[in-house]
Structure 1
Amino acid sequence: MPALIIILIVVGIVCLLLGVFVEAVKFLLWLGIVILVIGIIAWLLGFIRRQT
């Protein structure tokens, strides 16, 4: 499970950077943001569940 979360965060950052640097593919910017947010939320949920 943690490996999947790390992969989601990395893919999100890559898509975010590609969306910023390449004007023609603006949808990658939004896709990167969405994937990054999902990865961060998943990481937070896992972190919170480990604390309890």
Structure 2
Amino acid sequence: MNSYYIYILECSDGLLYTGFTNNISRRFDEHQNGLNKSCFTYKRRPLELLF
């Protein structure tokens, strides 16, 4: 059984983003580096991992 994590990011404009993943380090890097231009966080970087 795989473990999954729920995470909360604070965007540069103060908005919060929640997501889930099985690899929190990889997923945070994807958000922070803007690897997906259609993602909610793409234009709201830099991000801070809150939880």
- Structure with the largest fraction of strand: 2
Look at both structures and tell me which one has the larger radius of gyration over its CA atoms. Answer: 1
Comparing both chains, which one has the higher relative contact order based on Cα–Cα distances under 8 Å and sequence gaps of 6 or more?
Answer: 2
After TM superposition, the score normalised by the length of structure 1 is 0.30
Calculate the TM-score normalised by the size of structure 2. Answer: 0.31
Is the helix fraction higher in 1 or 2? 1
